[in-house]
A and B are shown apart, each in its own frame.
Chain A
Amino acid sequence: MPHLDAAYNLARWLLRSEHDARDVVQEAYLRALRFIDGYRGGDGRAWLLAIVRNCAFTWLKRQSGSLERPLGESEGGKPTELGADPDALDPETIAIEKADRELWNRAIAALPIDFRVVLILRELEDLSYKQIAEITDTPIGTVMSRLSRARKQLGQIVAAEIAKGVSQ
Chain B
Amino acid sequence: MKCEQETLTNAYLDGELDAAASAQLETHLESCESCRKSIANQRAVRTGIRDRADYFLAPESVRSALTHQLGLNSRAGSRSASTDDHGAMRPRGEPSTFRRQRSPGWMQIGALAAALLVGWLLGSWPNRWGDRITDEVVSSHVRSLMGAGHLIDVASSDQHTVKPWFNGKLDFAPEVHDLSAQGFPLIGGRLDYIGGHPAAALVYRHKAHTINLFIWPAAGQVGAQRPASTSRGYNVTCWTAAGMENCAVSDMNLDDLERFASTVRGLEPHAGT
Tell me the bound Cα distance from A41 to B126 in angstroms.
12
| Interface contact B66-A1, CB-CB below 8 Å | yes
Would you call B121 and A158 a contact (CB within 8 A)?
Answer: no
Partner of A25, one of B58, B70, B253: B58
* Residues of chain B within 8 A of A158, CB atoms compared: 45, 48
Distance between Cα atoms of A144 and B6 in the complex (Å): 11
Among B231-255, those with CB < 8 Å from A are 232-233, 251-253
Given contacts A104-B53, A144-B11, contact A91 B41 (CB under 8 A): yes
- Within the complex, the shortest CB–CB distance from B10 to chain A, in Å, comes to 5
In the bound complex, residues from chain B placing their C-beta under 8 Å from that of A90 are 37, 41
Chain A residue contacts of B16, Cβ below 8 A: 128-129, 144
Chain A interface, number of residues (Cβ within 8 angstroms) = 59
Binary flags per residue of B4-21, CB closer than 8 Å to A gives 1, else 0: 001101110010100000
Interface of chain B, main secondary structure: helix
With a cutoff of 8 Å between Cβ atoms, the chain B residues found around residue A26 in the complex are: 62, 65-66, 69
Q: Is the CB of B53 within 8 A of A108?
A: yes
Are B69 and A144 in contact, CB atoms less than 8 angstroms apart? no
**Cβ of A69 < 8 Å from any Cβ of B?**
no
Contact B49 A18 (CB under 8 A): no
- A92 and B53 within 8 A (CB): no
A158 to B69 alpha-carbon distance, docked (Å): 41
Distance of A95 Cα from B70 Cα, bound (Å): 48
Interface residues of B, count at CB 8 A: 61
| Whole-angstrom CA separation of A148 from B56 in the bound complex | 24
The answer on a CB contact under 8 Å between A44 and B233 is: yes
Say yes or no: A128 contacts B53, CB within 8 Å. no
Question: Given A2-B118, A91-B41 in contact, is the A13-B56 Cβ separation under 8 Å?
Answer: yes
Residue A75 lies at the interface, judged by CB distance under 8 Å to chain B: no
Residues of B within 8 A of A7 (CB): 58
Most buried by B among A3, A45, A96, A129: A3
B62:A151 contact, CB within 8 angstroms: no
B203 within 8 Å of A by Cβ?
A: no
CB distance from A37 to the nearest CB of B (A): 10
Contact B42 A151 (CB under 8 A): yes
Per-residue 0/1 for B52-78: is the Cβ within 8 Å of any A Cβ (1 yes, 0 no)?
111111110111011101100000000
Are A155 and B120 touching (Cβ within 8 A)? no
Seen from chain A, the residues whose Cβ lies within 8 Å of a Cβ on chain B are 1-9, 12-13, 18, 21-22, 25-26, 29-30, 32-33, 36, 39, 41-46, 48, 87, 90-92, 95-97, 99-101, 104-105, 108, 119, 122-124, 126-129, 144-145, 147-148, 151-152, 154-155, 158
Knowing that A5-B90, A92-B43 are A-B contacts, what are 11 other residue pairs whose CB atoms are under 8 Å apart, sorted by A's residue number?
A9-B57, A26-B65, A42-B123, A44-B232, A46-B233, A48-B121, A100-B52, A101-B52, A129-B16, A144-B16, A155-B42
> What are 28 A-B pairs at a CB distance below 8 A?
A1-B113, A1-B114, A3-B251, A4-B62, A4-B66, A5-B58, A13-B56, A18-B59, A21-B56, A21-B87, A25-B62, A26-B62, A29-B70, A44-B233, A96-B44, A99-B52, A101-B54, A104-B49, A104-B53, A105-B53, A124-B208, A129-B14, A144-B11, A145-B7, A148-B6, A152-B45, A154-B49, A155-B45
